Structure 1
């Protein structure tokens, strides 16, 4: 077969070399060049500290690797590409990325400004002072050009404080309103071809120089990390250490870096686990606050014992802070979740139990901690029953209320119609019975107030005794429903403040029903075991 035709820009074929060690992509040297303009690429091998000590006999070969391809191709600069350079003698490769955006893809800070793909250079000029501005990369273009480059600033200057002198921009006196973006476009001839590039400057006014020169201009570390949380499995844990530094204004360079065990990140045996980023947080009057983040992949417990430092330096001095890492014990998430769940379930069960059995719990509490009122007062009777004098309610009072209160619960019950002596004065005896009782049970029904004044007299006496002395409590038992207009004034007043226990017919007959439990809560504390000892009081309220 005949010899293949070689591309005019293709380098001569190299003899076959051993497998090269690939240093991957160098993000620090990425270049962005606007389509149709000139750009410059530097081989990142010589900027890498680990192979910085190269000899002069090294020969470099450039290769083009388009995006989405695996094979190197002849160099074509019209599309976004990645370039790798090969060190001929030691066979080391490193790639740098070249991006070529179109003019309409570039976002401009000013609408009328020319499109610029490269990053802006920051320039700081002290207020009331001057400085000469050079267009970035101008000197390099001058060295490569066949003719003198021309400098173009898109905005004319209408005063003597700023003027263009040749290819440079002179600012004689700096004011705050001169801050902003400055653009320069350079055109030149190279081998008979017209070339150009556009750059921009971010110009800021610095008032901090008005401070006396004795003021410290050394950088200072503002924020450094001091703890790391470790979990049971740390093989895939990533730890972010954040360091912030303040750089006072100086017309000189500055830098931030991390060291681990006294070595920079690129010189560590496990350097692939460490990655750092730097970003500008603020730039006010020339004072810069920058943040550097160190990302440690696959963090291990052994890393806690390593010395990790964050450093900042400028022309005046430096500052270094150590990241004092200490382990934080992880919370047992499963145990914590189970414990929290059990606590919530227990609280829910307690709420349900109390909502359903609150009467039983209250009665149990009273039986344990309450004092028998018979030992603290001089009353003779536990209960006085007031009711309407008709056959139905009288039957309910005598056969149900009296029977259970006396025979089952052991209370002494006084009923006027049953226990009063003939020939006495009704009013005097009624007031006497009520005054000598601990509770007044008022059986409320539609006919309570309409069938005579005896029931109203008992109710009024009980309410007055309760209001004045506090030694008597009135309990309302609703035997039958009563319409609101059927409540007399005394009952309406009593209903607001007094307990109301509703009788519900057959559902309330059993001693275990809600009616009797609710009534026992309002009655004096009495043990069923005392029932027989009070049998002599249960046959009536006769008096001497």
Structure 2
């Protein structure tokens, strides 16, 4: 857009527009200052302090006045997307140095107030939250505390109204009213300034002071609770941590100290980067008596460090107390190695179980191909397979063109088919029994037509079952060519179905030699009845 304007305007106007674009700066946002949030009662005066002046090393108001920086105030009422400039022409808003006064504050004044310091080259801003609440009685304790005090028993203490110097102006008049709320030994005092003249108006403030009354008895010497005199730290080589817990009795406005020493040297004197100890953390506070914990971190802890002396000390004006940490190494248990070994073992067992469950048939056939023996040299049988089937065109087509071809061509079996291998003039019953007796396996093709009484297929099935049950070496394999309703099964077929596994022909899905139909066929052809029942 600027380039388009430059194309049609004189050169000096282009330069002016270009300077305006370059002079546009980004304002550094410090976010919202949580410590500076203000909560006031409805109808009283609220004064907001610009947090940018909380760090005099960065900004001070006197330096700002002498520099080109300008202090601006904005407000974000949470009902608009953009912050709005403060209108200082309103009689309720006043700006005094780094403070913004709202006199009096109402619920509509609540929101986020943003103070900004900027000039032509820099800009920085930060927000302060203002909350306006309704006052519930004279001792409403919801206002934020302006002062926290700890007062010992049987001691004199003078309370002053917090921030009185900030709120009062030269040659102004004011009066202070005090209110007190007490619960057990925890007390809260409220100070209320009224008839206070500021900016020509009468203002009212309410500030609160919280105080705790604590006992002032005993020796007040710090007590090292941990490590105790008979306590032993069990550590592991690597990066152990030593904890020191101390009871610090209350002493009014007095700082107390906790520190670790190694070989009677403080960590500063030791100057060893392996040792570090952050500041003590407060664990509990019981009416001024504090329990604090300070931790000692040791990096690359070795067996030589067991011979060093580790002491925890605590001190105040009443005395000093020191306790030594006695260390011993924890017996090494190869938990990681054992866990990893157990995990790998379980994973291998699970993997082997899954592999066997999915590929058990392939594994058995592979084993037999390596370690099996040729049964043709161990018996006097003439045929490897005798095929029994119903004499109809569809089933006969399956037996002759598919089943016989694969068994003879691919498996290398010698196959006996009664209609092909029997000689004319013989007796069907005698020839059937003779052929079945000379075969090592009987493959029965099960279909609705094969289980009809009086058929040769049923005779062949009866001969095979009789030979098998009387201790013969004949193995019977059932192939379901077409589904047969259970209620139409003859007694011999029911008995065979209970003892033997039924391999189902599934048409085109079973036709490839790699299908599980032919793998089951190869497995069942080589399996005895007992093993077959247990495996499948």
TM range (shorter): 0.3 to 0.5
* TM score, norm. by length of structure 1: 0.45
* TM score, norm. by length of structure 2: 0.45
Q: Greater relative contact order (Cα 8 A, min sep 6): structure 1 or 2?
A: 1
